[in-house]
Structures are given as C-alpha cells and as structure tokens.
Structure 1
Amino acid sequence: MASSSPVFIPTETLSTILTHKTLINHFQTNLPKVSTYLQTPIRQSYNVSLSSSLLLMPSWSSSPSFPFIGVKLVTHFPQNSAFNLPGVQGSYVLFSSETGQTLASMDCTELTLYRTACVSGLASRYLSRDDSEVLVMVGSGSLAPHLIRAHLSARPSLRKVVIWNRTVEKAASLAEKLRECGEFEEVSFEGCGCGCLDEVVGSGDIVSCATNSEEALVKGERLKDGAHLDLVGSFKHSMKECDDEAIRRGKVFVDNEAALVEAGELVGAFDRGVIKEDEIGGTLLELTSGEKAGRSSSEQVTVFKSVGSAVVDMLAAQFVYEAYMQGAR
C-alpha cells in the first residue's frame, strides 16, 4: 500500500474523492470494526490566545488489517471571518503503523468539514424520523452546506431546508447557491435571519446547529414533538447552542465520551442537575454496533451532540488515501 515517497492530497482532489453519502456509509460499516483496535487518546487543546486554539488528535492501529497511524493538527481562529478565511484549518498526516513511514498528508480543513457533517448524517439515520421533511440549518458558515448535504443524504425524505443566520443576507446567499447547484431538484431552500429563529425551529423535523454561540439559540420548548436536534458547534464549556429545556426534553446521544466533558450544553446541564451522565442514551459507536437503540417512537425528541474524534478522522483519511492510491495506479 505504501508508496516510495509520501503523497500530498490537495483539497481539490479530496473533494473529487468524497461524497457525503459514501463517507456516511464508510463510517457506518467500519466504525464498529476499527474501534476495537484503534488507540485514541483524548485530544489535546491549547489556548494560543484568548480566542484562538490549537488541537492535536492522534490515533493508531494495533491491527495489521488497518496499518495506520494518524495525527490531525487543527487551529481554531474564530476571528478569521473578518479576513474571509475559514475559522478552522489544519493538516492530517498519515503514517504506516508497520514501518513508521509517512504515507500522506492532506489539508484537513475540507476533510474535517466532510467528517463532521457525515458523523451528524450517520447519527441522523438512527435518531431522526424516517419521514422527516423539514431541515432547519442554524448557521451558514463553511460547515453548513456540508451538514445540509449530509442530512439530505441520510434522509432522502427531506423536502425543505430553511437556513437561519443572524445576518439574513448570508443565509439567503447559501440558499441561493444550493438552489443553483442542481443537486437537489425536489428540495426547496429558504434563507432567513434575525428574530425568526424560534418560529423556524418549531417547523424543523431535523434542526442542525453549527455556530460558535455562547448563548442558547435553540429553545427546547420550541422543538416539535419528534424533532431531532443536531448540535455541532460547541467544544468548550463556555459555548452552547441550545438551552437546558432542549436537553431535558430530548434523549441525548453523543459522538463519543469526550462530549460529556467538553460540550457546554452538556457540562452545564450536568452541573445544574438537568440530566445525569448515566441518562445519556449512548455513543455513535454504540448506535452503529447495535449495542444501544436509537429513536424509540415518532414523538420522541432526540439530541445528538458531537465534538469530533480521532477515530472518524482516521477513517476519513484512510478512505481518501486508499481511494487516491487506487486512482493513481
């Protein structure tokens, strides 16, 4: 599998290899397998400044059937929007776990967007209703179009996407781009902003949030019965995208255990006695392996909180690397 020298896989090549549907399927099939032999220490996070941080996410395999070591290095600079740059940037480096040889490196900004969105899409297969028709997207940053595509891939029944942003022009612009791309001819896209969030949240069968908010945007009392709430943005105690009522109403699932100590929505809810850790419904691994059940009724409100993990980073990088090498032959 290894080449004579490391390869660099640029973003434009990566985007020709990946689709949200294929990556969701890859995660669903392989997450239960690789989790038995991947070592994944808790990610390291360092404050570079008051608003910026550096994150390191290593992972390595103990099995010859999956001979990889991977490290993701990520910077989070939320102020980059002022410079028209992504707030999250980074690199992923893949090594051979048999020889230690560097196999590949790739700009993981796009890789992270795909894997984050596809984790939410995979969770939606287990937690959202089969007949979901309306997706509400809270936020219109670089992750939003990926989350929209992932949820549409996971739930083909969706027929309407409402995009909310504090700046209505940004929401309207993203809605227009998605209409013009021609991928989803049977889906309507709308953009809105300012004071209408409570109303649009109430219409959502799936509500997906990708913001840096430190104030609760989604109010639990506004969620309709049977809604699925997908929370992606927060990874610090100070950050939260929903209020305690949403956590209280919903059956809560997480992508991995790190969410229990990192996500502001959950840490705060634990501290205030809104929910106990043993009331969490399960992890994404437990859902995909069948160890835990997902949605139990059409009226149940479900919540999925993700903070990212080295396991899905590794799976995404492995998928890209092997497809790239196959194409290079």
Structure 2
Amino acid sequence: MQLLNQAVVTEHLNMQAAIDAIEELLHQQAAHPNWVKAPERLVIETFGEDKEHSSGSHLSMPATIYDGKKEYTAVKLVTICPDNPSRDMPTTTAIITVSNNDTGEILAIMDGIYITQVRTAALSGIATKYMTKPDCQSVAVVGCGGMAYEQLNAVLTVRPDIKTVYLWNRNHEGAAQFKTRFARDYAQWDVEISVCEEVGDAIRDADIINVATRATEGLFSIDQIKTDAHINAVGAYQATMKEIGNDVVANSSMVVVDDLAGSRHEAGDLIQAHDNSDCTWTWDDLSGDLQALVTGALKKEVTKSAGVTLFKSVGAASFDAAVALYVAKQAEQNSLGTSIDW
C-alpha cells in the first residue's frame, strides 16, 4: 500500500490528466452505466451553535469503478471547516482510500485536498471546453479562496489563448494574495492579472466567469455581464446557499450540471430559482448534464447557441474516484510515496 501526502499528489497530478480521467469516466458511464456506482454522499452538519464555532460539514463519499478488467473502490472523507482560514489552515480537509475490490486490498491512502481542488476545477475545465467559444480572451475569478487557483488553471488549460484575468474577493487582501501566488505557482500562464474593487468591474468584460463562494444571494445580475459570457459556478454547495442570481439562471441559454441527482439536493442557485414564483426557470429548463455534453447527447449545435451559458457543479464521488484511481495507479506503477505493509 502506498501512502501519498499532499506534496506527492501535487507533484504527480496535473490538470490535463484530471480532465482526461474525468472525460474517460463520463464516456465509460454512458457506454456502461453499471460500471460506475456512486450513492448519494452523506453530509453531516458540524457543530456551530456557539460563538466559537462556525457550522461546517463532514462528507462521506464512496464510489466504485470497473475499468474493464478490475473493479476499484474509492472513498473520500471530507471535513469543511469555515474557521480554518483564521488558523492559517485550508477550509477543506480530505483523505481518500483506493482499494481493489477483487481482493479488498487497499492500494493507496492519499491526501484528498488537492484532488478535491483539481477534480472540481477539471469539471469546470471540461464545461468550458465544450460550452465556450475557442477565442475567449478574458476570465473573471469571483471568490479567491483555495478552490479558485485550480479553477483558473483549468480554464487556462482548455483555453490557453486567454490573456487577461480579473479578480474580485470580498476581502481585497485575499485577491491581492491570489494574484501574487498564482503568478508564482502557475508561471506557465502568460496572463495579465488585475485586482478589482467591485465585482461588476471584474465581470463586465469577461468571456468566462469562475464563481466559488459561500454566498447566500446572487452576486451579480444578467445586465452586468457579456451577452455571451460563460459561467462556472462551483460554490453554493447547499440548498440554502446562492451565488448566481435568478435572473442570470433564467436568462441563460444553456444550464448544465455535473451531476443530475446531486444538483437537485445541493445546487442552491438552481433550487432557489426553481422554487421562486417570480423566476421563470424550472428544472424542466435544465439543458442536461456534463456526461451528455461530453458524449454529444447534447447536440453540438445547441452548445454553440448564442447567449449566456451556465455550468453548475456540486461534485460527485465518482469524479473524485476517477482522479484518485489515476493517482493510485501511477503510485503503484512508479512506487510513489511511501510503501507500507498493512
């Protein structure tokens, strides 16, 4: 069994590999629906009933994948701790186990923080690849927390001609830190990064808008963005959260989710739009999911239609499993990390 800490996972997992692993999974699911199994994740709200604790959550996310030769199980355990930034610790902590279902042998135990960030971003990268025009020139980052780095990296991976990045964060210092860190750690991208005082300044000229926040109401309106902008929304992961306004949802020419079942329970933006009697959008207006987009079940001519497009991600255990399985196989083949007897 291989033990893989965050440094090892980060060194041996790149964005293109994650995108490829998830696209392969989506094709596999379409061709062989029984090869991938991922029950709805268990979410437990953590204690937040006093002034010393902000309510977070613990998630248990199992999935099995049969690759045509063997079946594997990956289980991710996640704890979301809203108070951690004040402790100089990541908001999301996670660990993943990967095992061989033929024998029950655990192949790898790995840090799941980076995998969570990369697989979430890879989903946005895939959506951007299929839902945006090839000549996009600019991207806005709304919310500059830990997830935002790989979100931007994913968009630049599939749209490498982008030259301008606009940043906005409720805490201006957070955006400034993002700019410094991204320029240092992602030097492969030749982009000009600007920190904006207002969210409207960041999104006004953006071809692509990445949103990753814990907001509880829409952060911008449809008249503040370009008429053909594409939005990747990966925050608002609970029904009570919302970062994309009802008017944006209702006026999007395409709305695509990563996981059909999960979005009905967790995509706060869409749940609240559907439930609001003043909003014209309902679940019947959903265009489809990422699998349909990648496999072509959502017709190409539809994805090229004019207008704002919206991708909403809530995550699913199968996506973590696909990326974790890639890392585990690399570890087994190349003796990565620390090998121990169990």
TM-score by length of 1: 0.93
Which residue does 1:99 correspond to in 2?
A: 103
Partners of 1:298 and 1:281 lie apart in 2 by: 12
- Distance of aligned partners of 1:68 and 1:274 in 2 relative to their CA distance in 1, 3 Å threshold: same
Superposition deviation, residue 12 in structure 1: 0.5
Partners of 1:145 and 1:63 lie apart in 2 by: 30
Superposition deviation, residue 256 in structure 1: 0.6
Which residue does 2:271 correspond to in 1?
A: 267
CA RMSD for the aligned pairs?
A: 1.7
Say yes or no: does 1:279 pair with 2:282.
no
Partners of 1:21 and 1:96 lie apart in 2 by: 25
Aligned runs of 1:295-310 on 2, under 5 Å? 296-297=303-304, 299-310=306-317
Report the identity percentage.
28
Superposition deviation, residue 125 in structure 1: 0.4
Flag structure 1 segments of 5+ consecutive residues without an equivalent.
1-5
Which residue does 1:255 correspond to in 2?
A: 258
Superposition deviation, residue 242 in structure 1: 1.4
Superposition deviation, residue 13 in structure 1: 0.7
More moved, 60-69 vs 163-172: 60-69
Say yes or no: does 1:71 pair with 2:50.
no
Partners of 2:268 and 2:113 lie apart in 1 by: 23
SS of 1:213's equivalent in the other structure is coil
SS of 2:124's equivalent in the other structure is helix
Which residue does 1:325 correspond to in 2?
A: 332
Alignment equivalent of 2:320, drawn from 313, 318, 323: 313
Partners of 1:140 and 1:61 lie apart in 2 by: 33
Flag structure 2 segments of 5+ consecutive residues without an equivalent.
49-54, 337-342
Alignment equivalent of 1:173, drawn from 158, 174, 177: 177
Judge conservation of contact 1:243–1:265 (CA < 8 Å) in 2. Answer: yes
Which residue does 1:288 correspond to in 2?
A: 294
Superposition deviation, residue 325 in structure 1: 1.6
Judge conservation of contact 2:63–2:317 (CA < 8 Å) in 1. Answer: yes
Judge conservation of contact 2:124–2:154 (CA < 8 Å) in 1. Answer: yes
Partners of 2:111 and 2:67 lie apart in 1 by: 26
TM-score by length of 2: 0.89
- Distance of aligned partners of 1:161 and 1:24 in 2 relative to their CA distance in 1, 3 Å threshold: same
| Larger RCO of the pair (alpha carbons < 8 Å, separation 6+) | 2
Aligned runs of 1:16-31 on 2, under 5 Å? 16-31=11-26
More moved, 245-254 vs 53-62: 53-62
Which residue does 2:10 correspond to in 1?
A: 15
Which residue does 1:242 correspond to in 2?
A: 244
Which residue does 1:3 correspond to in 2?
A: none
SS of 2:60's equivalent in the other structure is strand
The aligned amino acid for 1:81 is P
Superposition deviation, residue 74 in structure 1: 0.5
How many residues align? The count is 322
* Per-residue Cα deviation, 1:189-214 (whole angstroms, up to 9, x for no partner): 11223xx2113212110000111111
Partners of 1:70 and 1:120 lie apart in 2 by: 22
